Structure 1
Amino acid sequence: MKKIELVVLKLRDFKGIKSLDIQLDGGNAEIFGDNEAGKTTTFDAFLWLLFDKDSNNKKDFAIKTLNGDGTERHNLEHTVEGSFLIDGVLVTLKKIYKEKWTKKRGQAVAEFTGHVVEHFVDDVPMSKKDYTAAVESIVDEEVFKLLTSPTYFNEQMKWQDRRALLIEICGDISDEDVIASNQSLAKLNELLNGKSMEDMKKIIASQKKQINDQLEMIPVRIDEINKMMPETTVDIEKMRQQVEQIEAEMDELQQQKIRVKNGESILIKQRQLQELEMKQNDLKRSFEADSLQEVHKLQVRLQEAQGNVQIIQSEIRMNEVEKQAIGRDIQAFTGRITQNEASMQKLREEFASLNALTFEYSDECECPTCKQALPKEQVEAVRAEALAQFNERISKRKAEIKAEGPVFADENTQIQAQIQTKNEKLNSVLIPKSKELNDKLAAAEKELVKFNEKLQQAQTSVPDVTVTDEYKSITLQIEGLQAEIKQLNEHAYEAVAGIDEEIEKLKFIRNGYNNALSQHANIEASKERIIELEDQQVKLAQEYEKLEQTTFLIEEFIRTKVNMLTERINSKFKYARFKLFDTQVNGGLNEVCETTFKGVPYGTGLNNAAKINVGLDIINTLSAHYGILAPIFVDNAEAVTKFIDVETQLISLVVSEKDKQLRVELEPIEYKEAI
């Protein structure tokens, strides 16, 4: 087990304490002082040295010494130094909190710009990161606070964290172990079907809410249906018989209407009319047959002539397109020849200008540095070199011109050949073809005009059948029959109108009966719906009851687990007991974590002495769990006459009115069973 003992704690200008050395040498001590004399400050300094926090677990507490008017006293170094024996090895930690003064450029006086903290381990300066790492290698911050303050577990930890820590100490109990311990819970395994207890609780809660929502809506729906159902005392069977009788009467009237519409005299007249119309059409076809046959032949020949004209016109267009393309090509070739001729002329002119060039050189030469005339032999050498360069440049350019000129000439020769080929095709093929096609077009158009004139003559020579005596006679007979049929139809219309009126009256009566029957059908459907809803209500209630039974099993499981877990946790402590669940009004259980002693809750009934000793009991168990013994600071220790047994260093902070300055006494404390 790791043992941490405080050997000495030194404070300099820390929270109003000018200078204080507490020499403990790993032993127990009592620190006496009046209220506000600085007893708690020693514990604050101890924790700040390790974790940058005070005994209330705050980081932003006031460290600096204050003047009488409450202002901060400047230019002080606020120092806390502590030496510890860690498993027999001495380690010294020191922190200095001081002001930072900076002299900006152009200013004679330095300005206060903040604070800095210096860190030391065994007098070796360290960065904050390395210092924190060194402290963490000794003990974890949260664990150390739990082991050094009897009130930290109960007053500064959240209840959820306290509960988790207790379960960590004693070990949680598996669902399988809980179910195995209580035979009445055996059915839970089947109900869970591999799901966790928490998931099953969520599923049941969701299902119960859905069922409740449906159960709440069913009475509302039934009430709405009842309100919408009208009261009726109709004889439904008799009404159905009346509807059948009315429909039979309507069928009979429909048959009467058909018989009237299809009267025998009208049918005879209509057949006679059809025969006359067929006879008239036959007369017209036979009368015009020969003349129309010639018209049809001429129409076919006319279409052929029109097609020939269109084909020749298409060929003419294609020939013209090709002629225009050749013309454009010849124009482009001619332009290229002109460009090449211009280029060759420029080369001739340049060649002539090169022949006309003469070498010019000044014999007056001087040194560019000293400005003296150069020797004659040196001047001659420079002149000879310049002349050689001049001749080489002229010769080179003439050679280039002689090489470039033939290229243009060769290209023009090739282009002239292409132009000749194009002209030959144009003159020997396309122009003669154009004349040939125009001649063919003129002949085809002449043929088209000829057939068009013949067709018009044939059409005008077709005889008009309507002027013949036979056609006129048939037309008069048709008009007579049409007049007779019209008269018969008018009389039939009056009879049909009367029948339709009777049918409409019967329809009106039948619709009234049918509306009543539909209303009755809606009432019956509503009654059936009410029965369905009532059945659904019963089924939902049964499902809810099953869920309630499962809920009861889960709550019984939780109660069983509560008892087992509580017994296991409490067995780890001598005096402290823990309430881990709270029973609700509806019988359900809520997770809590409340420390008690002899049934009295820590937060509402225990006095300070009991709170401190219960806290020491918890520290004993936590020390064994973590394998660490650390110094314990007991604030308000005057409330305790006897402390319970602890195995580690105990530093008591005792209120003493007579001690206006802190007084430290090193003395062994008699540990007895105080509770």
Structure 2
Amino acid sequence: MEIKKVKLLSMHIQNFKGCKDRTIEFGEKARISGANATGKTTIFDAFTWLLFGKDSLGSSDFDIRPLDADGKMVDNIEISVAAKISVDGDEYDLKKVQKQKWVKKRGTNTREFQGNVNEFEINGYPKSQKEFKEFISEIVDEDVFNLITNPNAFNALAWKKQREILMKFVGSFSDVDIAEGFGEKYTKLIPELKIASTDDILKKYTKAKTALNKDMVEIPARIDEISKQLVIADVGALEVEKTAKEVALQKVEDELSGGNSKLEEINSKREEIMTLKFHLSEIQNAENQKLLLESTDIRNDLSRTRDTLNDLKRDVLNKESEIRDAHVKYEDHEREKNRLLVEWKSEKAKAYPALTPLEPLTDGSFICPTCGQDLPEEVKQKRIADYEARKTAYESKYEKDKAEFEENRAKRISQIEADGRSAAKSRDKFKTLEESLIKEKDELTTKLADAQREYEIVKKAVDGMPKVADVSKNADYKATLEKISALEKEIDEMSKDTSLMELKARRDILKNEIAEITGKIAAADNSKVKERIAELEAEQKEVGQKIAEQEQMIDLVEDFIRAKMKMISEKINGMFKLVSFKLFDNQINGGLKETCECTVNGVPLSSLNNGHRIVAGLDIIQSLSSLYGVSCPIFVDNAESINDFNVPEMDSQMICLAVTDDKELKVESEVKYD
């Protein structure tokens, strides 16, 4: 599939956050460096605000207006970001301007701020916000843009979302297609897969098994409980006793029918008391609301001190992370220096071997090997001349080879010494940085302790405030209490005639006794109890069979997931050069738990240092760009953590944001990494 290539050629930023006026030209590779707070991330934020109205972290709730010396936003200035981009070689000029809307109040000279207004342009032509968004969305989807421009974006997603994206590498194969590919092995599972995911199927059968296990535990107890209902009773005697009590109950009901008017009056007064008590609650709630308003300032202080405390805690954690990174780099350079020292000693110890002289001519060299007589004088002289020539050539070659060895050895030693000095310098640099960061952390820790004390003081003040308002002196509250007391006394006076109350009590007792006897008569019929026990025993057997069926389906689903994940893992991991993804975990009970964990050579991404995490993120971006068919400028934050030798060859434009000691922002195009 042909990949759409999007490049950022240049940007002009005015009054955006801390950037007053700056034009930046970008090459295929660009490096933006400087100390912290010099505006590196602001450039990335400006680009994403232009395209999508969000910062580089995907948040639309961030301040873009610059601040004055007192930390207040500067009004009455325009904020603008303009960029020239290239899409498959076609260039487009994009611009976004934000203005403030001020309206003069009628009858005054005062103007009120009515909000911000954004204006958009494409190639100099004004566009509505909708038209601008549609143009950008045709180039690249916002979610895809975030994934292929930030090496940390993919791994910051929830693992389920990561896996959902990775599954796109597999294609449009459904679980049903995969199951059918295994022949008859998963035939029983296919109808389920047609209507539900494996996760939902597992939940279904696990939930059913859990419920069945609960029933299996409860059924014996229910049988035992019902068995206790087997009773032996004299039904005839119970019927006689029931009839006698029903007669007595009717008599009491007749006597009560004459006293209903007084009871109605008492109930009316009780309802009035209830209404008055509701009024007491309203008074209490109103006073509680006043108390809450009075405590607003101190609660705001608590919120402020809590925010400060949490900010400092995050700063300390970030500083600790920077210290660890600096220490790792210090140790890397220290090991490199020590390795070079060993290599230097080895080179210094090397020596060219001493000259081994040629074997000299002997008397036998001048005797004829055939006849044993001395060779003629001219032959002797020729042999002597040949020997001297060979000796001269041999010694000359030796001297030449020795000189070449010494020259190469000197060059190697010189290079090792230079590399050693560089490693030592880098080591000392990161040691100094680590010490500086430790000092900064100590200062933050002191501030954190102060903030903790301030927070605890304010919290103690808040905790010491009353939770409920005191209404004992409220006139309305006191008057209502007095009305309630008077009504309760009237009810007491009306209730002194206890005959009605006694009759009601007698009626209730008789009703309870009749109900109890009725229950004993019904319980004496053991046939229903025995029938229920038989039903429960049959149910127990049926539940056991159903549990076995649920377990078989759970095992089948887990086996399918294992086979599917093995197949999918192999296909997905084949799409990446450096990273691999662990897509499921084996559980203690033998089951599978779906997951998504990025690893490099078997090491979890979370255990890698920052530089290796960035390199892993670049490998992921390379594959995602192929998946979505588009490449965009990659903004690499903390680029000082990576080096030329470990950065993969990328098909996208690279814009590296690196922390250096430079006080002013520095922009370089077509550069190497650190």
Q: TM-score, normalised by structure 2?
A: 0.52
SS in 2 for 1:20: strand
Shift of 1:576: 1.9
Shift of 1:61: 0.7
Give, in whole Å, the separation in 2 of the partners of 1:227 and 1:665. Answer: 90
SS in 2 for 1:71: coil
Contact 1:27–1:668, Cα closer than 8 Å, also in 2: no
Counterpart position of 2:37? 36
Contact 1:119–1:125, Cα closer than 8 Å, also in 2: yes
Give, in whole Å, the separation in 1 of the partners of 2:161 and 2:6. Answer: 25
2:4 counterpart letter in structure 1: K
1:221 to 1:109, Cα distance in 2 relative to 1, 3 A: closer
Give, in whole Å, the separation in 2 of the partners of 1:193 and 1:605. Answer: 37
Give, in whole Å, the separation in 1 of the partners of 2:211 and 2:169. Answer: 40
Give, in whole Å, the separation in 1 of the partners of 2:623 and 2:194. Answer: 36
Contact 1:100–1:116, Cα closer than 8 Å, also in 2: yes
Give, in whole Å, the separation in 2 of the partners of 1:520 and 1:109. Answer: 88
Counterpart position of 1:437? none
1:588 to 1:231, Cα distance in 2 relative to 1, 3 A: farther
SS in 1 for 2:160: helix
| Residues 303-314 of structure 1 aligned to structure 2 (within 5 Å) | none
Contact 2:625–2:631, Cα closer than 8 Å, also in 1: yes
Give, in whole Å, the separation in 2 of the partners of 1:137 and 1:524. Answer: 78
Contact 1:99–1:114, Cα closer than 8 Å, also in 2: yes
Shift of 1:522: 6.4
Q: TM-score, normalised by structure 1?
A: 0.52
Shift of 1:154: 1.4
Counterpart position of 2:80? 79
1:612 counterpart letter in structure 2: I
Give, in whole Å, the separation in 2 of the partners of 1:670 and 1:193. Answer: 50
1:584 to 1:68, Cα distance in 2 relative to 1, 3 A: farther
Counterpart position of 2:617? 615
Shift of 1:595: 2.1
Q: 1:660 aligns with which of 650, 658, 663?
A: 663
2:648 equivalent to 1:647: no
| Residues 431-450 of structure 1 aligned to structure 2 (within 5 Å) | none
Shift of 1:574: 1.2
Contact 2:230–2:526, Cα closer than 8 Å, also in 1: yes
Give, in whole Å, the separation in 2 of the partners of 1:172 and 1:561. Answer: 14
Counterpart position of 1:54? 55
SS in 2 for 1:223: helix
Shift of 1:39: 0.6
Counterpart position of 1:433? none
Shift of 1:169: 2.5
Shift of 1:553: 0.9
Shift of 1:179: 3.2
1:130 counterpart letter in structure 2: E
1:162 counterpart letter in structure 2: Q
Give, in whole Å, the separation in 2 of the partners of 1:192 and 1:124. Answer: 56
Counterpart position of 1:152? 153
2:158 equivalent to 1:162: no
1:535 to 1:147, Cα distance in 2 relative to 1, 3 A: same
Counterpart position of 2:599? 596
2:131 equivalent to 1:130: yes
2:22 counterpart letter in structure 1: L
Question: Which of structures 1 and 2 has the bigger CA Rg?
Answer: 1
Counterpart position of 1:311? none
Give, in whole Å, the separation in 1 of the partners of 2:112 and 2:532. Answer: 88
Counterpart position of 1:11? 13
1:622 counterpart letter in structure 2: L
SS in 2 for 1:188: coil
1:68 counterpart letter in structure 2: A
Q: 2:560 aligns with which of 552, 557, 561?
A: 557
2:603 counterpart letter in structure 1: V
Give, in whole Å, the separation in 2 of the partners of 1:639 and 1:21. Answer: 26
Shift of 1:101: 2.7
Gaps of 5+ in 2: 234-520
1:525 to 1:128, Cα distance in 2 relative to 1, 3 A: closer
| Residues 153-552 of structure 1 aligned to structure 2 (within 5 Å) | 153-155=154-156, 157-180=157-180, 182=182, 185-189=185-189, 192=192, 196=196, 198=198, 200-201=201-202, 203-205=204-206, 207-229=208-230, 530=533, 533-552=536-555
Alpha-carbon displacement from aligned partner over 1:149-172 (angstroms, at most 9, x marks no partner): 1111111x3333322211123225
Counterpart position of 1:576? 579
Alpha-carbon displacement from aligned partner over 1:520-565 (angstroms, at most 9, x marks no partner): 9967876675455334323321221122112111111111111111
Aligned length: 382
Give, in whole Å, the separation in 1 of the partners of 2:194 and 2:616. Answer: 41
1:207 to 1:99, Cα distance in 2 relative to 1, 3 A: closer
2:16 counterpart letter in structure 1: F
2:175 counterpart letter in structure 1: D
Shift of 1:116: 1.7
1:101 counterpart letter in structure 2: W
Contact 1:78–1:97, Cα closer than 8 Å, also in 2: yes
Contact 1:173–1:565, Cα closer than 8 Å, also in 2: no
1:217 to 1:150, Cα distance in 2 relative to 1, 3 A: same
2:634 counterpart letter in structure 1: I
Shift of 1:181: 5.4
Contact 2:33–2:665, Cα closer than 8 Å, also in 1: yes
Give, in whole Å, the separation in 2 of the partners of 1:195 and 1:88. Answer: 46
Contact 2:41–2:657, Cα closer than 8 Å, also in 1: yes
Contact 2:176–2:194, Cα closer than 8 Å, also in 1: no
Q: 1:669 aligns with which of 644, 648, 672?
A: 672
Give, in whole Å, the separation in 1 of the partners of 2:574 and 2:523. Answer: 75
SS in 1 for 2:607: coil
Contact 2:179–2:190, Cα closer than 8 Å, also in 1: no
Alpha-carbon displacement from aligned partner over 1:365-410 (angstroms, at most 9, x marks no partner): xxxxxxxxxxxxxxxxxxxxxxxxxxxxxxxxxxxxxxxxxxxxxx
Contact 1:185–1:557, Cα closer than 8 Å, also in 2: no
Give, in whole Å, the separation in 2 of the partners of 1:648 and 1:37. Answer: 26
Counterpart position of 2:360? none
Contact 2:576–2:620, Cα closer than 8 Å, also in 1: yes
1:91 to 1:204, Cα distance in 2 relative to 1, 3 A: same
Give, in whole Å, the separation in 2 of the partners of 1:66 and 1:647. Answer: 39
1:122 to 1:175, Cα distance in 2 relative to 1, 3 A: closer
1:545 to 1:111, Cα distance in 2 relative to 1, 3 A: closer
Counterpart position of 1:489? none
1:212 to 1:99, Cα distance in 2 relative to 1, 3 A: same
Contact 1:4–1:631, Cα closer than 8 Å, also in 2: yes
Shift of 1:110: 4.1
Give, in whole Å, the separation in 2 of the partners of 1:84 and 1:520. Answer: 88
Percent of residue pairs bearing the same amino acid type: 42
Contact 1:197–1:554, Cα closer than 8 Å, also in 2: no
Give, in whole Å, the separation in 1 of the partners of 2:125 and 2:190. Answer: 65
Contact 1:173–1:561, Cα closer than 8 Å, also in 2: no
SS in 2 for 1:544: helix
Counterpart position of 1:464? none
Give, in whole Å, the separation in 1 of the partners of 2:190 and 2:524. Answer: 48
